[in-house]
Amino acid sequence: MEDQVLKDRGDEPKDGAHCVSLLSPQLKAMIRIKKKYLKRTNSVRLANSGVSDGASHPPNRKLRRRKSRVLFPNDTLMFKPKKERSRAKPFLTLFSIIVFIQVYNAIENLDDHVVKYDLEGLERSLHREVFGQQEALEELMDHLNDYLSTYAHQQPLALSLHGPSGVGKSHLGRLLARHFRSIVDDKLVVHYISKHHCPLQEEAQHCASTIARRITEVVTQAEEEEQIPFFILDEVEAMAPPLLDTLQTFLQSDQTNEFLNVVYVFLSSLGQSEITAHVLQNSSTAGAHKSLRQALTLLHPLWMEPAVQVIALSLLEREHIIQCFLEEMTLEGFYPDPGHVERLADELAYHRAAGRQYAKTGCKQVVAKVNLL
């Protein structure tokens, strides 16, 4: 009817007025409340951003917004992504520590073994009582230090010392036997002299069996006591082939462990002609090993074994002969008159080379001449 009245007045009803008229009073009230709420929310937001509700804004200027920050309560655990750690680093650290400890213990064990055998005392004794063999003694001590620094070995040690008559081979053997008997059990040091223990060549086979049995017994006892036995064999040049064959079997590397922890010392005049020629030509034993070993291997294959270390003893010069006279005269209770000693030294025969005099028989005749005083 209302629309009809409007038509009669000549006015057309508007769509908005028609829509509003259709809304109920309750709906209109809800719309007004929503508009007020939105207006109030906008005002509070502008106030928080530092801009008043009625303030004018510069054109095309955007409001700067604060960066949002996440706040965690105090009682909340905050988890951060963990960095990946290399698993190899702790392993390498542990491995380095283990290697260091092993090396340190090995060094300590080396020192303990060397101190145990008192090799420094042995070296002082040899240099004091053996004349004219500086190079040979240094080489001998180097081999002993290397071998006795540990207990486990891949092969035995055989030191084969060779030299002309009278240069101190037998004296050196006695000094070695005396020293090691004072360090280890006396039964673990065997001093074997061929001309005394096996004087007859006809008994060579029996002597070979005897020495083989002796070596086995001593080595077995040394293994039980965790010691290294010493076999000092003098006058090897007088040994028959069966004895040398037996000794060669004990120098092999394919034996049980107890036979690998043994020290053999061979004292011999074999190869003396090669040593004499080398010393007269070079005034030293340096480099004599090659020709000496070649000559020895022609005599017996024992000297071809890798375990054998050949050491050449030098000829004695005139000054060393004088030292021998002084020592022997002192031991016999004679006053060592220098003039008298010089005259005794002149009575010996000498090789002369490069302005030096080398005694042909070494100190072998010194004892006999002193006994004639």
Q: What is the pLDDT of residues 268-287, one digit of tens each?
A: 999 999 999 999 999 999 99
Fold type of domain 115-314:
Rossmann fold (3.40.50)
Residues of the chain below pLDDT 50: 1-20, 51-57, 108, 110-111
Neighbours of 272 (CB within 10 A): 20
pLDDT score of 242: 95
Give the tokens for residue 351. Answer: 């090789």
pLDDT score of 90: 75
DSSP string of 8-22, one letter each residue: HHT-PPPHHHHHHHH
pLDDT score of 54: 47
pTM of the model: 0.70
CA gap 324, 320 in Å, rounded: 6
DSSP string of 147-213, one letter each residue: HHT-S--SS-EEEEEE--TTSSHHHHHHHHHHHHHHHS-GGGEEEEEHHHH---GGGHHHHHHHHHH
pLDDT score of 58: 52
Query: Domain ranges in the chain?
Result: 115-314, 319-371
